[in-house]
Amino acid sequence: MKKIMVNESLCIGCGACVAIDPNHFDFNSQGLSTAKIEDVENIDQNLASAVESCPTNAIKIAETENDTIQEMPEAA
């Protein structure tokens, strides 16, 4: 499994991720991005594009194995 994590201290609320991948991202009450679905099996094209589009690198996809979260290397 993988876990979508949005760092709200980095998010500037530009909306790119929400526009590109509304299945996984939405705005919270502060106008910042939040993951609608945190746990995903695979990184689909929209999710990968949303991660790449973030101007502040606020979105991370972590690998969750054995209940531990390991940050994945930056997407190539």
Rule CB under 6 A: which residues touch ligand SF4? 6, 11-17, 33, 53-56, 58-59
Q: Specify which residues 3 forms β-bridges with.
A: 39, 62
CB of 49 to ligand SF4, least distance (A): 10
Q: Measuring CA to CA, how many Å separate 49 from each of 12, 22, 29, 32, 67?
A: 17, 12, 24, 18, 26
CB of 71 to ligand SF4, least distance (A): 16
In the complex with ligand SF4, the residue whose CB is nearer, 16 or 47, is: 16
CB of 15 to ligand SF4, least distance (A): 5
Q: Two tokens at 9?
A: 């201290």
Question: 49 — phi, psi (to 5°)?
Answer: -65, -40
In the complex with ligand SF4, the residue whose CB is nearer, 17 or 47, is: 17
